[in-house]
Amino acid sequence: MSKYTLREIGGDEDLERIMRWRMDPKITKYMNTDPVLTLEGQRKWAKKIASDPDVWYRIVLVDDAPAGVINLTHLTEPEGRIGWAYYIGEEKLRSMELAIALEAGMYDYVFDTLGKTAVVSDVFSKNKGVITLHKLLGCEIKAVVPEAVTKNGESFEVTYMEMTAERWAEQRKNLKVQGIAFV
């Protein structure tokens, strides 16, 4: 079994890796944008997120090898509803085991440590695997919006999902998986 951990984003090596992942068509096909990034732009982005109390970003590691990025957003939302997203940029490190551990660890952290009330996500409806994963862990579909995102002249349907603290507490009782420790 692989070891899954998280760590803070470091220097230029991390920024270049994130830039490569974030511009990979296999990743961007499920994202709202297809960015063209530069190292200088990445440095500005890293400085901005490091000082923004509303967001939280980490590198996902598989057996200490950088695999992807996870983020939490709207951390200062007064009603306790936050957003989240992740991607695993290293194709050879993707697995259902990692995805479940990452999502379970995120819910544990958000609800048990941060005391938030709900986690929301928006997923391109064509990303059936992620929607199935979220549902498997107990997320509810709140809305499906056709043509919610347009990029490169093409419109995409988006599925909006939610996990509440109460639902996670029930789901967690029956889930026999170790979540990734969020630090």
Confidence of residue 34 (pLDDT cuts 50, 70, 90): confident
Distance between CA 181 and CA 4 in Å, rounded? 8
**Beta carbons within 8 Å of 24's beta carbon, 6+ residues apart:** 89
Distance between CA 86 and CA 68 in Å, rounded? 7
Mean pLDDT in the chain? 94
Contact 163, 141 (CB under 8 A): no
Superfamily of domain 4-174: Gcn5-related N-acetyltransferase (GNAT) (3.40.630.30)
Q: What is the mean pLDDT of residues 68-84?
A: 96
CA 82 to mean position of chain CA atoms? 12
Domain range list for the chain: 4-174
Question: In the predicted model, is pLDDT for residue 181 greater than 90?
Answer: no
Residue with structure tokens 């490169």? 152
Distance between CA 36 and CA 27 in Å, rounded? 13
Contact 60, 88 (CB under 8 A): yes
- What is the share, in percent, of the chain residues with pLDDT greater than 90? 87
- Parallel, antiparallel, or unpaired: how do β-strands 55-62 and 4-7 relate? antiparallel
What pLDDT score does 179 carry? Answer: 80
Q: What is the mean pLDDT of residues 135-157?
A: 95
Q: How many residues does the chain have?
A: 183
159 φ, ψ (degrees, to nearest 5) = -100, 125
What pLDDT score does 12 carry? Answer: 96
Question: In the predicted model, is pLDDT for residue 178 greater than 80?
Answer: no
Which parts of the chain are beta strand (E)?
4-7, 55-62, 65-73, 81-88, 118-124, 140-151, 154-164
Confidence of residue 14 (pLDDT cuts 50, 70, 90): very high
Distance between CA 69 and CA 124 in Å, rounded? 18
Confidence of residue 44 (pLDDT cuts 50, 70, 90): very high
Q: What is the mean pLDDT of residues 112-141?
A: 95
* Tokens representing residue 101 in the block: 């551990």
pTM of the model: 0.92
What pLDDT score does 45 carry? Answer: 96
